[in-house]
Chain A
Amino acid sequence: ELKVEQNPLFLSMQEGKNYTIYCNYSTTSDRLYWYRQDPGKSLESLFVLLSNGAVKQEGRLMASLDTKARLSTLHITAAVHDLSATYFCAVDMGSPSGTYKYIFGTGTRLKVLA
């Protein structure tokens, strides 16, 4: 079964602290995406990771991909209130023939406390 699991599901953290969200997936893929969703809003693309060892950083967020471990991490540095949102990872479990099947994780609801 194709599964993408995130942990934690809920995260409440103090401003200024660091934390990591984990995304594990159950089958081979070298394409992983991170999205942010604010309440009642659509999804905003944060990172596209396309190879083993890929690391991307934007502001206080850094994402990495280990395809051998089937693991991606989203690291938050010195959290601020504006980062409060739900974060999703998604894996492209497409086939070599070019068909696509995107599986989203369960989501991590992040709340940054002042």
Chain B
Amino acid sequence: DAGVTQSPTHLIKTRGQHVTLRCSPISGHKSVSWYQQVLGQGPQFIFQYYEKEERGRGNFPDRFSARQFPNYSSELNVNALLLGDSALYLCASSFPGGGTGVDTDTQYFGPGTRLTVL
């Protein structure tokens, strides 16, 4: 079975531009989470979506937004890019997650998108 996939793998943008990152979860997984990992640090939680609804949000500015589609894939959008947005953006999927109370909350991470803002 295919794991979590993310696109693109690498991306170079300039300050002020907009970027869209994409994630396809493992088949059957309904929950998708996004993380930002700056080099040398732990991942920072950005969003979690379950059944197309936002279920969690980290401490990120409104320039960051996301959505989940009917096929459970997800997009992360970042507007007005800053140099500090340069990082590895990770997507993780889980089943069923989303507050169902079932203890199968293992998150499976994708390979990430490396974003460089110049």
Hey, which bits of chain A sit against chain B, CB under 8 A?
Answer: 31, 33, 35, 41-45, 48, 50, 88, 90, 92, 94, 97-107
Chain B residues in the interface with A (C-beta under 8 A): 33, 35, 41-45, 48, 55-58, 90, 92, 98-99, 103, 105-112
- How far apart are the CA atoms of A97 and B48 in the complex, in Å? 14
Q: Which residues of B have CB within 8 Å of A44? A: 109
Q: Which residues of A contact B44 (CB under 8 A)?
A: 104
Ranked nearest first, the 9 interchain pairs of A and B with the lowest CB-CB distance are A98-B99, A100-B56, A104-B42, A43-B109, A102-B45, A42-B109, A100-B48, A50-B103, A104-B43
User: In the complex, are the beta carbons of A105 and B105 less than 8 A apart?
Assistant: no
Q: Given A94-B56, A101-B58, A107-B41, decide whether A42 and B33 contact each other with a Cβ distance below 8 A.
A: no
Inter-chain contacts of B103 with A (CB < 8 A): 48, 50
Given A42-B112, A48-B105, do A107 and B56 touch, yes or no (CB 8 Å)? no
**CA distance in complex: A103, B56 (Å):** 12
A-chain residues with CB within 8 Å of residue B109 when the two chains form the complex = 35, 42-45
CB-defined contacts of A106 to chain B, threshold 8 Å: 41-42
Per the bound structure, the CA–CA distance linking A31 and B99 in Å amounts to: 12
Cβ–Cβ contact B56 & A102, under 8 A: yes
A77 to B101, CA, bound (A): 33
Our pick among A43, A45, A100 for the contact of B90 (Cβ within 8 Å) is: A43
Q: What distance in Å separates the Cβ of A72 from its nearest Cβ neighbour in chain B? A: 15
CA distance A104 to B56 in the complex (A): 15
A100 and B43: CB pair below 8 A?
A: no
Kindly provide the distance from the CB of A56 to the nearest chain B CB, expressed in whole angstroms.
12
Given the contacts A42-B112, A100-B55, A88 and B107 also touching, CB distance less than 8 Å: no
The smallest beta-carbon distance between B51 and chain A, in angstroms, is 11
B43 neighbours in A (Cβ, 8 Å) = 43, 88, 90, 104
Of residues A45, A92, A102, which shows the largest number of chain B Cβ atoms within 10 Å of its Cβ?
A: A102
B42 with A88: CB separation less than 8 A: yes
A102 touches B105 (CB 8 A): no
